[in-house]
Structure 1
Amino acid sequence: MTSNAATPEQYLAEIPEERRAAMERLRSILKAHLPPGFEERMAGGMLNYVVPHSLYPNGYHCNPKQALPFISVASQKNFIALYHMGMYSDPELLDWFVSEYPKHSKTKLDMGKSCIRFKKPDAIPFALLEQLAGKMSPQRWIEVYESQLAASRK
């Protein structure tokens, strides 16, 4: 689902009814459990939680005018997706999440490099996502991001 919504509220209003409550709950969880410093934005037709330029003036290396992305949430055609760049870059965090997932969900983990796909909104492990949201501060994400960026340039 592609969206041109300018605000999170507009975006949520566009989402099909059967997914809206789950998306609103994900938004609430992220806003409540992400450490201070992350900001909510709309970008790429989805909800984004970023490290703003006020904390990381360099911005995103692909486009320094953009804030450093961290987590995005989208209602796609066949699933709800949560993109977590921290798990993509931090093997320890990824290992924690993969090992915890079966304790919180009866469904098989459907995950790409940074994308967790939830085909059934009522099967989203919200308690686990609350924990995940609080695992990395903006400062830690900047450290991980910069170390990954430096390694890729060698």
Structure 2
Amino acid sequence: MTAGPAGAALLDELCAPLTPERAGALRTVYRLVRDAMPEGYEEAVSGRMICWSVPLARFPKTYNKQPLMFAALAATKGHNALHLPLLYMSPAHDAVFRKAYADAGQKLDMGKGCVRFTRAEALNEAAIAQAIAAMPVEQFLATYEAARAGASSAA
């Protein structure tokens, strides 16, 4: 996936007020996500987040008429955040992700689908890359539709 100019510009803006450690962590995760991203997702800016989404031309029936977000990266007042909605849509993917952290002996600071971090060393880069790379657009759409239908997805 090529760098989106809007995403790269926002990354610079997000990093500007951060400590060097937080800015470096944000840049590391941006590169990690971009490098692992399967074909078919588009990088764009949504508010103060860099998002990778399914284009509306491919999947127009979203609940909010916006492209379906697969991943997003943001900087908040107290931490950086990597949003991975797949993890709350799919208990199976969530379990694999959490297990990778546990197996590595790393502490996971995460809400339902938002990994919080301030340092790159706190992240399990392999688990993040695997969660992203293992989800082609068609599989993500099937998981999304199953979650919207109330079904538990093992996809």
TM-score, normalised relative to structure 2: 0.83
Any unmatched runs of 5+ in structure 2? none
For residues 115 and 134 of structure 1, the distance between their equivalents in structure 2, rounded to whole angstroms, comes to 17
Any unmatched runs of 5+ in structure 1? 1-5
Match of 1:37 in 2: 40
Instruction: State the SS of the aligned residue for 1:74.
Output: strand
Output the amino acid matched with 1:137: P
Match of 1:92 in 2: 92
1:48 counterpart = 2:51:
yes
Deviates more, 1:127-136 or 1:17-26: 17-26
1:22 counterpart = 2:25:
yes
For residues 125 and 54 of structure 1, the distance between their equivalents in structure 2, rounded to whole angstroms, comes to 33
Match of 1:3 in 2: none
Please state how far the C-alpha of 1:12 moved relative to its aligned partner.
1.7
Kindly report structure 1 stretches of 4+ aligned residues shifted beyond 6 Å.
none
| 1:61-72 alignment runs, 5 A limit | 61=63, 63-64=64-65, 66-72=66-72
1:45-91 alpha-carbon deviations (Å, 9 max, x no partner): 11111001122122x30x21x10111111111121111111111011
RMSD: 1.9
Task: Assess, with a 3 A threshold, how the Cα gap between structure 1 residues 137 and 8 changes in structure 2: closer, same or farther.
Answer: same
For residues 105 and 76 of structure 1, the distance between their equivalents in structure 2, rounded to whole angstroms, comes to 26
Instruction: State the SS of the aligned residue for 1:151.
Output: coil
Match of 2:60 in 1: 57
Instruction: State the SS of the aligned residue for 1:87.
Output: helix
Q: Is the 8 A contact 2:70 2:86 kept in 1?
A: yes
Match of 2:142 in 1: 143
Match of 1:79 in 2: 79
For residues 120 and 28 of structure 2, the distance between their equivalents in structure 1, rounded to whole angstroms, comes to 10
Output the amino acid matched with 1:67: P
Q: Is the 8 A contact 1:8 1:42 kept in 2?
A: yes
For residues 91 and 102 of structure 1, the distance between their equivalents in structure 2, rounded to whole angstroms, comes to 16
Task: Assess, with a 3 A threshold, how the Cα gap between structure 1 residues 8 and 39 changes in structure 2: closer, same or farther.
Answer: same
Identity %: 29
Output the amino acid matched with 2:21: E
Aligned length: 143
Instruction: State the SS of the aligned residue for 1:41.
Output: strand
Please state how far the C-alpha of 1:39 moved relative to its aligned partner.
0.9
Match of 2:121 in 1: 122
Q: Is the 8 A contact 1:104 1:128 kept in 2?
A: no
TM-score, normalised relative to structure 1: 0.83
